[in-house]
Amino acid sequence: MENTNGILPEDIFTVFARLGFTTYEARAYAALSACGRLKIGKLAKYSSVPQSKIYEVTASLEEKGAVTVSRDFPATAESVPLKQIVSSKVKRYLQDAQTVLEYVESIQNTRVFEHLYRTRRASLRINGRFDLPSQA
């Protein structure tokens, strides 16, 4: 049965992939979400991530803002709520989009933009594709 946003629970690894997680990262994050704070060795066991890769995986997840890792001995990790991760990614995406929009607006009436436009038009003609509309 589907929930309101069309994602089935068994598709959670698809969600993780769309968030940029590798398979090992998704397994580790899922194990932390289910179990809470875990020692890194136990995390490797519960997530089926090889012991030789688990520190690299948790470091990557920490870099992505998905987990917090203690520097105690033995080290432990805990997941950040998924909603917080998604909100952070959306915020970054919107900031990046705003930056791109501002850049495009800043070059729109410049020689750089005109050069790009003319180059693209010439490329389309050479390749036999449709032509862009003339500049008004």
Domain ranges of the chain: 9-80, 84-126
State the pTM of this model.
Answer: 0.66
Give the C-alpha separation, 89 to 38, whole Å: 25
pLDDT (tens, 9 = 90+) of the chain, 136 residues, equals: 444 444 445 677 888 888 889 999 999 999 999 998 999 999 999 999 999 999 999 999 999 999 999 988 989 999 999 899 888 888 988 998 899 888 888 877 777 777 777 776 666 555 555 555 555 4
Dist. CA 119–CA 103, nearest whole Å? 19
Residue 49: closest CA among 20, 81, 22, 80: 22
Query: What pLDDT does 124 receive?
Result: 59
For domain 9-80, give the CATH number. 1.10.10.10
pLDDT at 1: 40
**Rounded-to-integer distance, Cα 75 and Cα 92, Å:** 29
What's the confidence (pLDDT) of residue 29?
Answer: 93
